[in-house]
Structure 1
């Protein structure tokens, strides 16, 4: 995968948002201000739908419980997002990561910059995916945790943050593999099929710091997008809501549930399922009163894997026709990055077959 992997794009140096707020909490530079079209979307906010976001019991799912598998199928079809409870990751593991991250982001900028992203990669501390015109109100630490050979030790934080990341990511690998196994079952395959289709399960971790913002109606913590991998798992703060998903044309806040993970379907599952399961646009909003940290784990195939609708999913579809063409994963990432720079949020259209 190397330092110039197609997984990630070079990032130009940008201001540190946390430092902007420390210097002047009332300043929001023009480069972070959204246009009128984005602001208008806020009128489509539907907080009352938050209570309808599916909740799945991971302990039952991992045992092959039929009702829980049915709920997973419905969640992936109708929402593309769900929360999992009883996932088996110990509270001391999740709290350990949160405590270590809080201490890291409290460090002086010069200390955090010791593991800054190099100009030819995205791993490290800084900013990611800044290929759109309006910048996101956040700072990040991004690391590829698995496979080990893709790690960049020079941009890993010191102990105890490093150890907390190791412990948490090991547990999240178990959760992710189990979820892929459950998806394989509801798609009518052997449990290990989807994991095998990845050839090499690549697992990055993004720890994002969203400072408080004096103009929350004008700046986004993370622009609307769909995830380009197979699955994403987010650990939220217990007391600050920031994540919103697009559901039937409306923005729905994902209210935090204590000790739950938020899981979403990525573009690759949408392609493999021939559109049965949807990769949904989502974004992160800012707030005036409190900073927020989120912890996002992603699961990606090897970049040389060819992605196309699976035969049994095509046969389930109306007309028994594939809706997506075959794409190499690395090429798909390059194409979708280019489209995103043109301001399009949901870019899976590049893989769709023209009708």
Structure 2
């Protein structure tokens, strides 16, 4: 499982998109842990080749957030290099959301359906970006919540019946907003702009949180938890499972597994930041 927090610029009136309803992978595995339905089996040319994987675990650049926040020049140079050469880095920060997330996915299927995505909305429980009945599906269930600004939250999709869930999400959201604003300030300076310039380009900053659940699969070589992609956001902040190496990033034409570090947040450059930096910062 991994919660993601993203800072994005949403065009007025476009919403967050929509996704067709599909069966829950978690429930499917609960009923039959050995079968992999055809629609989840990736086409041969979409399955990662052994030759495309790096044999080594990757320790992507690790930054000291306290030093960044204090304006340390050396740490800013490390941030600049990480964005230009990798498009990924890790920062150490406190967070406490995993228990609330795990509690949601332990709910019964009937209870989880109470928070299902609407017909024309990505917010809620389901699987995102399913646009046709023919496309291959990802081996993943998720719940997607818009968290900031508070006025656009849709609490009908928040499982508030779980004790402490709302409070954990709000606390995590506030903490990640502080991290986001500090990173954007440092990136603004590195791009030769005023400290608040990147933040101001967003207008009213919007934040969303995606919590992913990846059930065990009897044939993992046939499926993908999440297909290869770049994020449309400015930046994405991602928490990995501390015990499993699941995240892989594309670096120098190889897929490189990222070793989890307890209490670390993986940060990756999104499409918007790459555009705003004229391609200098890489997604």
Cα distance in 2 for residues equivalent to 1:248 and 1:134: 27
| Alignment partner, residue 235 of structure 1 | 239
Structure 1 position 40, deviation (Å): 4.5
The yes-or-no answer on 1:22 pairing with 2:24 is no
Residue 242 of structure 1: how far off its partner (Å): 1.0
Correspondences of 1:294-309 after superposition (within 5 Å): none
Please state whether the residue corresponding to 1:59 is helix, strand or coil.
Answer: helix
| Deviation sequence 1:311-339 (CA, Å, 0-9, x none) | xxxxxxxxxxxxxxxxxxxxxxxxxxxxx
The aligned residue for residue 262 of structure 2 is 258
- Please name the residue that 1:353 is paired with: none
2:229 corresponds to 1:222: no
Q: Does 1:75 align with 2:112?
A: no
Taking the aligned partners of 1:58 and 1:129, their CA distance within structure 2 comes to 33
CA distance in 1, matches of 2:118, 2:282: 34
Change (3 A) 1:5 1:219: farther
The runs of 4+ residues in structure 1 deviating greater than 4 Å are none
Q: Give RMSD over aligned pairs.
A: 1.7
Deviates more, 1:196-205 or 1:125-134: 125-134
Evaluate the alpha carbon distance shift between residue 239 and residue 190 of structure 1 in structure 2; reply closer, same or farther with a 3 A threshold: same
1:33 maps to 2:37: no
Of the two structures, which has the highest relative contact order with CA contacts closer than 8 Å and spacing of 6 or more? Answer: 2
Instruction: Output aligned runs, 1:276-315, within 5 Å.
Output: 276-279=280-283
Shift of residue 8 of structure 1? 2.2
Between the aligned partners of 1:182 and 1:7, the Cα distance in structure 2 is: 29
- Gaps of at least 5 residues in structure 2 are 1-8
Correspondent of 1:183 among 170, 184, 187: 187
Match of 1:60 in 2: 67
Post-superposition offset of 1:41: 3.2
Determine if contact 2:21/2:130 at 8 Å carries over to the other structure: no
Cα distance in structure 2, aligned partners of 1:271 and 1:236: 27
The alignment of Structure 1 onto Structure 2 pairs a total of residues equal to 270
Q: 1:167-206, aligned counterparts within 5 Å?
A: 167-206=171-210
Shift of 1:6: 2.5
Q: After alignment, is 134-143 or 154-163 more displaced?
A: 154-163
User: In 1, distance between residues paired with 2:110 and 2:217?
Assistant: 23
The aligned runs of 1:104-115 (5 Å cut-off) are 104-115=104-115
Please give the secondary structure, in 2, of the residue aligned with 1:115: coil
1:210 equivalenced with 2:214 (yes/no): yes
- Which secondary structure state, in structure 2, belongs to the residue aligned with residue 225 of structure 1? coil
Secondary structure at the counterpart of residue 233 of structure 1:
strand
* CA deviation string 1:164-218 (max 9, x = no partner): 1111111111111111011011111221110011111110000011111111111
Deviation sequence 1:131-153 (CA, Å, 0-9, x none): 37211111111011001121111
Q: 1:141 aligns with which of 140, 143, 154?
A: 143
Kindly indicate which of the two structures has a greater share of residues assigned to helix: 1
Distance 1:256 1:277 in 2: 23
Normalising by structure 2, we get a TM-score of 0.91
Q: Distance in 2 between matches of 1:11 and 1:100?
A: 24
For residue 129 of structure 1, what is the aligned residue in structure 2?
A: 129
d(CA) in 2 for partners of 1:201 and 1:42?
A: 40
